[in-house]
Chain A
Amino acid sequence: MTDPRTRVVVIDDSTVIRGGFATVHPGLEVVATYPSVEDFEAADVACDVVVLDLLLRGPQGSSATTKQGRAAIRALRQRGLRVCLYTDERRPIVLALCLRAGALGVVHKADPPHVTMQAIEDVRSDRVVVTQSLVGLTELLDRRGAQLDLSTRQREVISGRARGRHWADIASTLYITEDTAREHYRVACRKLRDYLQHTSPGDIERAVGLAPGDVLDEE
């Protein structure tokens, strides 16, 4: 009888997280953990989702010798893997560039376990999962004329979520069910990722209000 749980590989330079992830998230089947992308690539383990720390330090505490950030994401995507970032990084533009590089989801290490598990389940289902700061970025990009192609309802749901409003609050305000509100939200998140992946860095910079070259620097 097969285990119905989502199979995940955890890549994190923290021994504590590698050791405790399975215990804290019993709803997930942690098939293996690695301190670096290179170790994972060498092992070639099958999984549904790779849970990836954004900043990976090498054996000497240096991050120069290991695949980092977007390079790591791209390497995993090239292997056809779904990537969910597991990070303390909250800067929206950094996280947006990770989506642009191919990550499907982002979850914070400080989030409660049930949030993390739900995010990984969603990523397994090819849904885009974003954090609060990315919701704010979605609203900002849309308001500044970025071609996200959001519908009116999607825009209203994103506006409510960007303000931190509860799903029930948003649903009652818009006279829709919570499930409908969540569906609008999922589609909007997908559109955000599509926009980031198909828009030039220069256009993203202009929409976010960054100086030219800030996005390109790490391309």
Chain B
Amino acid sequence: MSGVDSRSEALSGASSRSSARRAERGIALVAPMMRAVVLAQILLAAASGAGVADHRGAYLTLTVCVVAVSLLLIGQCLVTGSVRPGAWHVPDIVLAWVAVPAMNLLLPDLFVVGTWEAWASGFAINVAALAATWLPPVLAVGHGAALGGWYLTWTLTANTTSWETSISNALTIPGYALVVALLAHYLRGLAVDADQSREDAVTATRALELERYQLTVHDASSILRLLSDEDTPAEVLPGLRRQADREAQRLRNYLGAAPPPLDSSARTVGTMLATALEGFEDLPLEPAVALGAHVELDDAVWTAVGRAVTTVLHNVRLHARAHQVVVHADTDGATWEVVVSDDGVGFDQDNQPLGFGLDTQVGQALRDVGVAVEIRSAPGRGTSVTITGPVEGADA
């Protein structure tokens, strides 16, 4: 149960740590802070504004509505961690559109531009900017431009300042909408990319783990298949049992058991092939390794090539129906070579893709340790696997 719980917690934690979620929380934190600053500025000037307003009650009512909607905005953002769901969206925009002409109508012309008693301009800028966090970017910028035009129309009507100042003030509204829209869009895109990258990494890790698992169990599955097959000849069984024991030890190591002490014998092509050929006495083996047996190999290469040869021999046993399997080793001093050839049924390399054993356990695993492999086969002509690598310490 504890394992299930911990996996559940891990999944939950991974969900809350997603970059998209964190980006939304960040936006939902900045938006109410911006509104709180504007709200403070409005409240500071509200008493003075009410004092000079032609219709004090209407001015205060409008201000209270703005405060109420702003408090709703702040609360909802902080609670939900997002600006997207919001009962405040529409009222906020409506209030901005109403406040702009209201300041002209309620306040003396002297206060309409350049004062916080006429808080509509500051509020409109903030509304347009926050709308850009939850509206689609194009719509948000369009809305900002329209609201800016609305503001310009009414300030020009007041005729208390130059048209240049009025236009400059009005441009602030779509300008902030544009900046915030770009910022929010970029931030969300960045978060999506980060999440996608993380997902890709997880997928790649899973694929690697699966490949490692397949590498680990491929030969074991061949052995188990033959052991469980009642038609497997009795003379094959002793070799299979020795191989099964070796595979069992390897699987225990894979599952975390302490590996057996390393064999201190020399890591040569000869010892590698002697180990790889163990248990294949049922195959018509023709070993000819004298020319290359003495070549010393790196531990990783020794293990990888040994496993590759074993995999090739499992394939021969299962599929080739061979009368002869030659295992040949040679060296020219700079490189060493191991060839495993059978005279079995072969396969069509052009139309029949390599199986996991030859493709991954032989090809990929050997390339990973810097060893080249060439596989040649044709129907009726058997299969030949040539493995070559550099001799350690030899001049390139």
Interface centre among B288, B325, B343 (most CB of A within 10 A): B288
The answer on a CB contact under 8 Å between A140 and B324 is: no
CB-CB under 8 A from A162, the residues of chain B are 288, 326, 328
In the complex formed, the residue of A with least CB distance to B322 is A164
Bits for A118-140, please: 1 = Cβ < 8 Å to B, else 0: 00000000000000110110011
User: How many A residues are at the interface, by size bracket?
Assistant: 20 to 34
Query: Which stretch of B163-171, B207-215, B295-303, B376-384 is in the interface?
Result: B376-384
> A140 CB to closest chain B CB, in angstroms?
5
A163 in the interface, Cβ–Cβ < 8 Å?
yes
Q: Which residues of A contact B386 (CB under 8 A)?
A: 163
Query: Of the candidates A111, A135, A168, A209, which one forms a contact with B381 in the assembled complex, judged by CB atoms under 8 Å apart?
Result: A168
- Interface residue? B85 (CB, 8 A): no
Residues in B305-343 with C-beta less than 8 Å from chain A: 323-326, 328, 339-343
CB distance from A106 to the nearest CB of B (A): 13
Report the bound CA distance from A213 to B387 in whole Å: 36
Q: Mark B92-126, 1 if CB is under 8 A from A, else 0.
A: 00000000000000000000000000000000000
The smallest C-beta distance from B72 to any residue of chain A, in angstroms, reads 82
Contact of B328 among A110, A164, A209 (CB under 8 A): A164
Given A90-B286, A143-B291, A169-B376, A163–B323 Cβ distance below 8 Å?
Answer: no
How does the 8 Å CB contact mask read for A155-178 relative to B, with 1 for contact and 0 for none?
000000011111011000000000
Residues on A with C-beta less than 8 A from B324 are 132, 164
Q: A163-B339, A164-B343, A166-B343 are in contact. Are A140 and B326 (CB under 8 A)?
A: no
CB contacts (< 8 Å) of B339 on chain A: these are 163-165
Q: Are B288 and A136 in contact (CB under 8 A)?
A: yes
Instruction: Give the dominant DSSP class at B's interface.
Output: strand
Chain B residues near A111 (CB, 8 Å)? 323
| Smallest Cβ-Cβ distance to A161: which chain B residue | B326
The distance from the CB of B343 to the nearest CB of chain A, in whole angstroms, is: 7
Whether A58 is near chain B, meaning CB under 8 Å from some CB there, is no
A166 touches B328 (CB 8 A): no
On whether the beta carbons of A139 and B323 are closer than 8 Å, the reply is no
Contact status B291-A139, CB under 8 Å: yes
Cα–Cα distance between A133 and B382 once the two chains are bound (Å): 18
Contact digits for A98-117, partner B, Cβ 8 Å, 1 yes 0 no: 00000000000011100100
| Cβ–Cβ contact A164 & B323, under 8 A | no
Hey, which chain B residues are within 8 Å of A169, CB to CB? 376, 381, 384
Q: Tell me the B348-396 residues at the A interface (CB within 8 Å).
A: 376, 378, 381-382, 384, 386
Question: Which residues in B have their C-beta under 8 angstroms from that of A140?
Answer: 288, 290-291
Known contacts A111-B323, A112-B323, A132-B326, A166 near B288 by CB under 8 Å: no
Chain B min CB distance to A130 (Å) = 12
Alpha-carbon separation in the docked complex, A112 to B323 (Å): 8
With a CB–CB cut-off of 8 A, which chain A residues contact B340? 164
Q: Does B51 contact A (CB under 8 A)?
A: no
Chain A residue with minimal CB distance to B290? Answer: A140
Answer yes or no: B284 CB below 8 A from chain A CBs: yes
> Which residue in chain A gives the minimum CB-CB distance to B376?
A169
Q: Which residues of A contact B288 (CB under 8 A)?
A: 132-133, 135-136, 139-140, 162
Query: Bound state CA distance, A110 and B322, in angstroms?
Result: 11
Task: Decide if A164 touches B384 in the complex (CB within 8 Å).
Answer: yes
Q: Report chain A residues within 8 Å CB of B290.
A: 136, 140, 209
Q: In the complex, what residue of chain A is closest to B346 when comparing beta carbons?
A: A166
Residue of A nearest to B386 (CB): A163
- Complex contacts, B343 vs chain A, CB 8 Å: 164, 166
Give Cα A133–Cα B291 distance, bound, in whole angstroms.
13
Smallest CB separation, B329 vs chain A (Å):
10
Bound complex: CA of A79 vs CA of B378, how far in Å?
46
Asked if A164 and B381 make an inter-chain contact with CB atoms under 8 angstroms apart, the answer reads no
Given contacts A110-B323, A169-B384, contact A164 B291 (CB under 8 A): no
Given contacts A110-B284, A111-B323, A169-B384, contact A163 B341 (CB under 8 A): yes
A135 to B324, CA, bound (A): 13
Q: Whole-angstrom distance from the CB of A95 to the nearest CB of chain B? A: 12
Docked complex Cα distance between A110 and B281 (Å)? 14
Cβ–Cβ contact B286 & A132, under 8 A? yes
Q: Enumerate chain B residues within 8 angstroms of A163, measured Cβ to Cβ.
A: 326, 328, 339, 341, 384, 386
B328 near A133 with CB under 8 A, answer no
User: In chain A, what residue has the closest Cβ to B285?
Assistant: A90
Q: Nearest B residue to A135 by beta-carbon distance?
A: B288
Let me know if A166 and B381 touch, CB within 8 A: yes
How far apart sit A61 and B288, CA to CA, in the bound complex (Å)? 33
Q: How far is the CA of A15 from the CA of B56 in the complex (A)?
A: 129
In angstroms, Cα B342 to Cα A154, docked, is 22
Of all chain A residues, which has the CB nearest B327? Answer: A164
Chain A residues at the B interface, C-beta cutoff of 8 Å? 90, 110-112, 115, 132-133, 135-136, 139-140, 143, 162-166, 168-169, 209
Kindly list the 7 A-B residue pairs having the minimum CB-CB distance in the complex, ordered from nearest: A164-B326, A164-B341, A136-B288, A132-B286, A163-B339, A166-B381, A163-B328
22 A-B pairs with CB atoms under 8 Å apart are A90-B286, A132-B286, A132-B324, A132-B326, A133-B288, A136-B286, A136-B328, A140-B288, A140-B291, A143-B291, A162-B326, A163-B326, A163-B386, A164-B286, A164-B340, A164-B341, A164-B384, A166-B343, A166-B378, A166-B384, A168-B381, A169-B376
**Further 10 A-B residue pairs, CB within 8 A, beyond A115-B323, A133-B288:** A111-B323, A135-B288, A136-B286, A163-B341, A163-B384, A164-B286, A164-B339, A164-B382, A164-B384, A166-B381
